[in-house]
Structure 1
């Protein structure tokens, strides 16, 4: 399996971010070919030292890194990536990684 982890920085307007993210971005992202699961944090994001600088963490699961590449290359993936500018003005970090159970 492979994961795409998106760390969204805390926005200036949380309500506007959440409205766009859950009403527009998520439905768009759920059309991406090869997407197996889509999870987000439920509550504040923290660290052992206290609050994290992130408002939202999204974890998208795919079969492989190649599937993530194909997802980004698709028209649905391009539309989803292009939508970031509409709500994530505070910035976001995208991490892609292969996973294995141990």
Structure 2
């Protein structure tokens, strides 16, 4: 199994980020053909400090080819092209193999 991991840095305005992410971006992301989509918001570190990152989304696919097909689709491209509309704290995208 393969997953696409999208990690968002702390945005300039968390209220604006959350509103856009929940009302617009997640609707686009949910249209991507994947086996599972998980999102989370970091709340801190074990020692009580502010987390380095703000949010994370993980999209799971059966194979790397499935991921590539899904992300090349109209739905995948719409979600990717939407990221600059709200990710003012930067974003890092990685592909991981689940072992």
TM-score, with length taken from structure 1: 0.87
Aligned: 1:94 with 2:93? yes
For residue 89 of structure 2, give the secondary structure of its aligned residue in structure 1: coil
- In structure 2, relative to structure 1, the CA distance for the partners of 1:45 and 1:79 (3 Å cut) is farther
Relative to its length, the structure with more strand (as a share) is 1
Task: Note the C-alpha offset of 1:49.
Answer: 8.3
Cα offset, 1:30, TM superposition? 0.7
Alignment RMSD, CA only? 1.8
8 Å contact 1:45–1:55 — kept in the other structure? no
Summarize deviations over 1:35-81 as a string: whole Å, max 9, x none. Answer: 11111125515366843221101111111111111111101000000
Map of 1:25-36 to 2, 5 A cutoff? 25-33=25-33, 35-36=34-35
- Residues 1-102 of structure 1 correspond to what in structure 2 (within 5 A)? 1-33=1-33, 35-46=34-45, 50-100=49-99
Structure 2 gap segments, 5+ residues each: none
- Unaligned stretches of 5+ residues in structure 1: none
